[in-house]
């Protein structure tokens, strides 16, 4: 018998994480990778006050499916164990009633490989409004061969980590400079990097000769999937087009391959394809007219 119940944030996180690991595929046919969920849950933008609206479907206390939001209600996503496609109509019904935003609107983020969900959405009058394809790098292609230019180095494991420099790098690296200088609060950075599966020892920081953190690449390793999950990657504007991010990706591959990974995720930016990544999965946003 299938039972639906609310997600209990203080009790269910590891159960959901392991469920996502168990169903993972590079093309996303069963849903997003486990670090996608974990990163959101530890992000300062995540609305934990509404987490009870995330719903689990279980059989014999094992998760068969999940309907959830990433940061806050308004966009719904689905993860589904193979063989439980009969739950799709109920899961979408649930999303339409419980995962809408405060304005009553709902977007559904479905992966292109989730064919049965896409078919049901189309039958209900939804259409794909936008999409983006995320790149990935299979290590079977061989090593990424990019080196740091003169004057830059990787932060070593025995150096004290400077969260303020991290704040400055990610603030300007994600083009927030027009909003003014970053605030002094670094607690959100400390919070998300304290997530259970974030690998501080594997992430890559490129340090400029003046001590700036010029480029940052965060790493979430999933041994059960042999997956190296990149989140986030950014380079400060004044250090772009010098090959720093490419060198950071090469270093991430080297570090994570030593840990048993065989696939590195990227993003949708053309940069990834330029350095040898290939199309991995496609996210789509579906809405009703």
Q: What is the pLDDT of residues 103-123, one digit of tens each?
A: 999 999 999 999 999 999 999
Contact assessment for residue 215 and residue 237, using Cβ atoms and an 8 Å cutoff: no
How big is the chain, counted in residues? Answer: 289
Residue closest to 245 by CA, chosen among 208, 271, 278, 211: 271
Any idea where the domains of the chain sit in the sequence?
A: 2-124, 138-281
Using CA atoms, how far residue 108 sits from 1, 86, 128, 201, in Å, is 27, 18, 9, 35
> Are 119 and 284 a contacting pair, CB within 8 Å?
no
- Residue 174: the pLDDT is 97
Pairing of strands 62-68, 204-208: unpaired
Which class would CATH give 2-124? alpha beta
| 130 pLDDT tier (thresholds 50, 70, 90) | very high
Token pair, residue 277, equals 């990544």
Residue 102 has pLDDT above 90, yes or no: yes
Quote the pLDDT of residue 53: 98
The pLDDT mean for the chain works out to 97
* Distance separating alpha carbons of residues 235 and 91, to the nearest angstrom: 39
Distances from the Cα of 265 to the Cα of 14, 138, 245, 281, angstroms: 22, 9, 14, 10
Section 41-61 average pLDDT: 97
Block residue for tokens 């990834």: 272
Instruction: Report whether pLDDT(57) > 90.
Output: yes
Averaged pLDDT, 192-203: 94
> Over 90: is that where the pLDDT of 141 sits?
yes
Looking up tokens 């392991």, which residue turns up?
18
How much is the pLDDT for 101? 98
Find residue 208's DSSP bridge partners.
152
Domains 2-124 and 138-281 belong to one CATH topology:
yes
User: Do 261 and 121 meet the contact criterion of CB atoms below 8 Å apart?
Assistant: no
Q: What is the pLDDT of residue 258?
A: 98
Spell out the CATH class of 138-281: alpha beta
> Which tokens go with 103?
């304005």
Asked if the model's pLDDT at residue 289 lies above 90, the reply is no
Helix (H, G, I), strand (E, B) or coil at 218: strand
**Amino acid 42: pLDDT:** 95
The CA distance from 235 to 245, in Å, is 7
Tell me the residue ranges of DSSP E strands in 139-277. 152-154, 204-208, 213-222, 227-235, 263-265
**225/34 Cα distance (integer angstroms):** 10
**Rounded mean pLDDT of 262-278?**
98
Contacts of 27 (CB under 8 A, 6+ apart): 111, 113, 280, 281
Mean pLDDT of 236-241: 98
What is the reported pTM?
A: 0.96
pLDDT at position 17, please? 98
pLDDT 10s digits, 147-169: 999 999 999 999 999 999 999 99
């Amino acid at each position: 018998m299938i039972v639906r119940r609310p997600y209990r944030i203080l009790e269910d996180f590891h159960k959901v994480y392991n469920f996502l690991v168990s169903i993972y595929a590079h093309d996303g046919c069963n849903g997003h990778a486990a670090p996608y969920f974990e990163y959101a849950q530890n992000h300062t933008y995540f609305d934990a006050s509404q987490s009870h609206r995330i719903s689990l479907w279980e059989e014999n206390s094992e998760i068969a499916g999940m309907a959830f939001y990433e940061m806050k209600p308004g966009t719904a996503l689905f993860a589904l164990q193979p063989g439980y496609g009969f739950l799709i109509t109920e899961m979408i019904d649930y999303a339409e009633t419980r995962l809408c935003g405060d304005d009553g609107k709902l977007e559904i983020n479905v992966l292109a490989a989730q064919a049965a969900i896409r078919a049901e959405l189309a039958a209900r009058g939804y259409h794909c409004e936008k999409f983006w394809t995320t790149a990935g790098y299979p290590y079977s292609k061989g090593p990424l061969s990019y080196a740091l230019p003169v004057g830059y180095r990787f932060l070593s494991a025995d150096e004290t980590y400077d969260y303020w420099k991290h704040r400055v790098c990610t603030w300007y690296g994600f083009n927030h400079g027009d909003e003014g200088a970053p605030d002094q609060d670094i607690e959100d950075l400390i919070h998300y990097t304290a997530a259970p599966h974030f690998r501080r020892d594997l992430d890559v920081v490129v340090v400029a000769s003046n001590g700036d953190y010029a480029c940052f690449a965060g790493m979430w390793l999933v041994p059960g999937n042999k997956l190296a999950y990149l989140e986030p990657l950014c380079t400060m504007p004044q250090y772009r087009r010098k090959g720093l991010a490419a060198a950071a990706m090469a270093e991430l591959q080297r570090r994570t391959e030593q840990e048993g990974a065989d696939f590195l995720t990227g993003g949708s930016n053309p940069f990834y394809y330029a350095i040898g990544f290939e199309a991995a999965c496609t996210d789509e946003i579906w809405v009703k007219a």
